[in-house]
Amino acid sequence: MTYSSSTATSQPNVSSLNGSARRAAECHQDVHETIIDALDILWDAFEEDQPSNLYQLVMGQVERPLLARVLERCDHNQSRAAACLGINRSTLRKKLRDHDLI
């Protein structure tokens, strides 16, 4: 079996990808734990009352910075930002308008 030069040089790239995947998984776990902690703090702030609008409260805090950051990371290209978010471009535009981001 022979290997081309491109096969030989791709090995470090596989290592790099494995490291990136591991870091992404660790980051995902950190984000998950941070969200759980924040939700517990928010829930406790209601004291004896059970929240009735928790979804709206959380989305109100998370959606705007998420949209702004993704748009920035995509160099303000709305089509790319929509693809990164997994939503339709027209849905993204509506959300951007709703949050006064355009």
Q: Which pLDDT score is estimated for 12?
A: 59
For 33-68, what is each residue's pLDDT tens digit? 888 998 888 888 887 788 788 888 888 889 999 999
Assessment of whether the complete model's pTM goes beyond 0.85? no
Q: Where are the domains of the chain?
A: 1-50, 53-102
Give 69 or 44, the one with higher predicted confidence: 69
CATH of 53-102, one of 1.10.10.60, 1.20.1730.10, 3.40.50.1820, 3.40.50.300: 1.10.10.60
Q: Classify the phi-psi angles of 78: left when phi > 0, otherwise alpha if psi is within -120 to 50, otherwise beta.
A: alpha
Residue 5 has pLDDT above 60, yes or no: no
